[in-house]
Amino acid sequence: MFARPRPDQRSIAGLYQTVQVDTAVSGASPHRLVELLFEEFIASCSRARGALRNGDIQAKGRAIGRAVRIVEEGLRGGLDLTHGGTLARDLHDLYGYLVVRLTQANLRNDDAMLAECAALVQPLHDAWRAIAPQAHETHTH
């Protein structure tokens, strides 16, 4: 007889994480979605740094690739440059800088650049979380 393959812990953890993310996103307000992007960006930078310390170049590349996609497709792609004024343009420039630094960090295996990227996004994440009550109030009225 054939033995049934048993899923390894990593595949179970990955499935659990996917379910958690899908659940968090499905009912999230637009404000919460941006907050989730900031959180996942910071987590991706952290995963890349850990992989770099462990010498896992493939995991480092995947984590950095995810961070770049979050910036380009999520954060930068969601900006309204026509009506967003100076703030939208400044964020657009910052996000462009992050993509360049992430790419350099990947090519050079540079932990300091990854730390810099996370440090640049953390204040945005903190500010975004701080205005959550006002955003929720506006969204429900």
CATH number where 62 lies = 1.20.120.340
Mean pLDDT confidence for 53-79: 96
- For residue 18, is it within any domain? no
Identify the residue with better confidence: 30 or 65.
65
Cβ-based neighbours of 70, under 8 Å, separated by 6 or more: 37, 40, 41, 44
Rounded to two decimals, the pTM is 0.80
4 belongs to a structural domain = no
Q: What tens digit of pLDDT does each residue of 86-128 get? A: 999 999 999 999 999 999 999 999 999 999 999 999 999 999 9
pLDDT computed for residue 134 by the predictor: 82
The answer as to whether 138 is a domain residue is no
Would 45 be classed as within a structural domain?
Answer: yes
In a domain, 95, yes or no: yes
Residue 76 structural domain = 31-132
What's the N-to-C CA distance of the chain in angstroms?
62
Inside any domain, residue 67: yes
Structure token digits, residue 68: 């770049």
Q: How many domains does the chain have?
A: 1
Q: What is residue 30's predicted lDDT score, i.e. its pLDDT?
A: 84
Whether 10 maps to a domain, the answer reads: no
Examine the pLDDT at 74 and tell me if it is beyond 50: yes
Q: How many CB atoms lie within 10 A of CB 119?
A: 11
> Which two tokens mark 123?
């204040």
As given in the structure block, the two tokens for residue 81 are: 């440059």
Closest by CA to 64, choosing from 124, 12, 115, is 115
Distance CA 118, CA 105 (A): 12
pLDDT reported for residue 26:
66
Residue 72 CA to residue 64 CA, distance in Å, equals 12
Residue 48: is its pLDDT beyond 70?
A: yes
